[in-house]
Structure 1
Amino acid sequence: MTTTTDSTFDSTLASLGIARSTNSSSTANTTGQTTLGQADFLKLMTAQMQNQDPFSPVDNTQMVAQMAQFSSLAGISDMSTTLKAIADKLGATTTADAVSYIGKNVLVPGNVAYGRTSGGITGAVELGGDATNVNVTITGSNGEVLKTIKLGAQSKGTVNYDWDGTTDQGADAGTGPFNVTVTAQDNGATVAATGLVWAPVTSVSTTSGSAVLTLPGIGDTDASAVRQIG
């Protein structure tokens, strides 16, 4: 329902050539929302000066203070917009950045790894807390256990391991692919553990400024998931 005050306000703005806009996207606000920009402010200030009481003019000190505040707010708004544009630019991945991943090996979360030319694999375990017992189990394509690496007690953080490619029986495990499973416990209680494996980048694409890497056995992985580049 439109009130007399609203009508008077709308009429005053209309006489100055300022349109009052209503935010229709919000159903909670039924009275409308007025938005004034810099040009509108200048029109209102000019109207105030033109219609001031000549026997009681606007105090110069207050007017200068108001203009200084408005200028500061306008400057902050412009600076915020500029900084956001710079942040978006710095956060975006260029085509050259994306292409630079191709042919390199990256350390990412995953459970599939291919053997090195010299045999075996290297990887890491990310621990969410201290653990008294950390194990890495490597299995073959048929699910057979090839090697169990016991890392013992480890502190919270990243723990690296290196497997020479021989099974628990001393045989050559081949080149894989291998499935890697990590477990961690702290005096019997489960500790959050994430397995990290090395994988070659075969191709890359960019989506919304972010690089997406294609990794054998792992699939498409966002570049933000890369822990290390080798």
Structure 2
Amino acid sequence: MSNDINAASSYMDSLRWSEQNKTTQSDKKNDALTQEDFFSLLTQQLSYQDPSKPADNDQMISQMTNFTMAEGISGLNEKFDMLSASMTSNSALQASTLVGKKALLESDSIDFGDDQLAKGSIIAQSPVEKLTVSIYDDSGQLVRQIDMGAQAAGAIRFEWDGKNGDGETMPAGNYEIKAEGSLNGEYTSLPMATFKNIDSVNVNGANGIIVNTSAGAVKLSDVAEIA
């Protein structure tokens, strides 16, 4: 008999706990005013108004309009938050496909790998004559000089097969590179951009997508070309 009473008592305790838990959960509901709450407040306001000075119709309409606008803006904020989260996820997914590719960045160095062509671009604001590309090793020794002659204005593409002036293949690594030519009658250096390996990418909130290359981290918006 005692066991039956204890079991019944435990069962009743579990019911009370369940009911208490439901009450606690209901207390945690959103405290935001709904349209039903607004009309309840409006009805209460009308019941307390001075009969000799009834509420102006324009004021009533204005209150209803303001509430509707506030409710609409709140809904829009929720939608924008969802859209922002979705766009961030899509950006991360798209950015992951860049790993292993090459990014064209403004640089005074060029990467050479085994059995690969090292590529880049020379940026000329106007036509250039006697254009030469010089490549140096890490000790500053001239490895190769490529004569490109006269070129039109714009992005001038070039390639290096990794060989020195004697036709010997150089070891893989990073080499300094310079472009010089006659620009408007003056012999000068020209800015260059070379392809760098993309090792990884970061989705960095306000900064957008960050591309980590062999030359360092840069914004994707600063990348001229992906190859």
- TM class by shorter-chain length? 0.5 to 0.7
1:155-214 alpha-carbon deviations (Å, 9 max, x no partner) = 4xx4432234455x5644624421234568863799997532222234x26363555544
Q: Does 1:82 align with 2:72?
A: no
Q: 1:136 and 1:73 mapped to 2: Cα distance? A: 64
Matched pairs, number: 185
C-alpha displacement of 1:75: 1.3
Q: Does 1:147 align with 2:142?
A: no
In the alignment, structure 2 segments of 5+ residues that lack a partner are 1-31
C-alpha displacement of 1:55: 1.9
Q: 1:103 and 1:163 mapped to 2: Cα distance? A: 20
Bigger-Rg structure (1/2)? 2
Q: Does 1:206 align with 2:211?
A: no
- Match for 1:124: what amino acid? S
In structure 2, the partner of 1:114 is 111
Q: 1:88 and 1:126 mapped to 2: Cα distance? A: 39
Larger helix proportion, structure 1 or 2?
A: 2
1:115-162 alpha-carbon deviations (Å, 9 max, x no partner) = 2544542112456xx32337644322222342255463314xx44322
Q: 1:228 and 1:131 mapped to 2: Cα distance? A: 21
TM-score, length of structure 1 as denominator length: 0.56
TM-score, length of structure 2 as denominator length: 0.57
In structure 2, the partner of 1:102 is 99
C-alpha displacement of 1:49: 3.4
- Between the aligned residues of both structures, percent identity stands at 20
Confirm or deny: 8 A CA contact 2:178 2:189 kept in the other structure. no
Q: 1:122 and 1:196 mapped to 2: Cα distance? A: 9
